Amino acid sequence: MVREENVKLMSKIAIYEKRNGKEEIPMSGYFKSDYVRLNVLKTCVSATIAFVIVAAVIVIYKMDYILANVFKIDYKSFGFAVLLLYVIWMLIYWLAARILYSIRYEKARTNIIEYNHNLKKLQEESQKEFVKAMRGVVINDDFIDF
């Protein structure tokens, strides 16, 4: 038999899974610190790629100059300058990613709590049905009054 209450619950759950759930449900598998750390790591990789792209574009643009002065360039100070820029660039991304992913985790948490609550309710409902089918009686403790 199709039970209206169950359909309502299942629809609520399905709507969440279809919309925000895709991104948010995997989050529930992590502690906040792990989630933030993992995403900061991913961000660091993509920020490094972005930095390398910019560096490559500049190197190709300045290729004529570099080839003409191959022996004159002070590689030590040049390397140091690039390293400094890289560190600043990464620091900005590291900080931004920490803040961004912490906020995202917190936002998702409330939705996930509601989702879990709905799942639990659904489970309870089906348990009740099961008991009913097996013994024909459901013991609901609300009615037990001593």
Partner 1 sequence: MTTLLTFRDNIKSFLGRFDYIITPIAKGIFALVMFLILNNQFGYFAALNNKILLAGMALICAFVPIEILAGLGFVVVVLHSVKLSIDVGILALALVLFFYCAYMRFSPKTGIVALIIPMCYSLHIIYAIPIVLGFMVGPAAIIPAIFGVVLFYYQEGLRDVSNILVTATEEEESVQGYQYIIDLFIANKFMLLTFVVFACVILITYVIYRMSFSNSWIVAFIVGGIMNIVLFLFGSITLMVEVELSSVLIGTIVGILIAVVLQFCKGIVDYQRTELLQYEDDEYYYYVKAIPKLSVSEMNKNVKHINSKTH
H, E, C per residue of the chain: CCCHHHHHHHHHHHHHHHCCHHHHHHHCCCCHHHHHHHHHHHHHHHHHHHHHHHHHHHHHHCHHHHHHCCCCCCHHHHHHHHHHHHHHHHHHHHHHHHHHHHHHHHHHHHHHHHHHHHHHHHHHHHHHHHHHHHHCCCCCCCCCCC
Residue 103 binds to partner 1 (criterion: CB under 8 A): no
Residue with tokens 């199709």: 2
Residue 41 binds to partner 1 (criterion: CB under 8 A): no
Residue 53 binds to partner 1 (criterion: CB under 8 A): yes
Are the C-beta atoms of 108 and 27 separated by less than 8 Å?
yes
The gap from C-alpha 28 to its chain's centroid, in whole angstroms, comes to 9
Output 49 or 85, the one with its CB closest to partner 1. 49
- The least CB distance from residue 128 to partner 1, in Å, is 14
Residue 36 binds to partner 1 (criterion: CB under 8 A): no
Q: Which span sits near partner 1 by CB under 8 A: 39-47, 71-79, 110-118, 132-140?
A: 39-47
Give the per-residue contact string, 78-97, with partner 1 (x = CB under 8 A; - = no).
-------------------x
| Identified binder of partner 1 from the candidate list 33, 46, 69, 110, rule CB under 8 A | 46
Output 13 or 112, the one with its CB closest to partner 1. 13
Interface positions with partner 1 (CB under 8 A): 2, 6-7, 10-11, 14-15, 18, 43, 46-47, 49-50, 53-54, 56-57, 60-61, 97, 100, 126
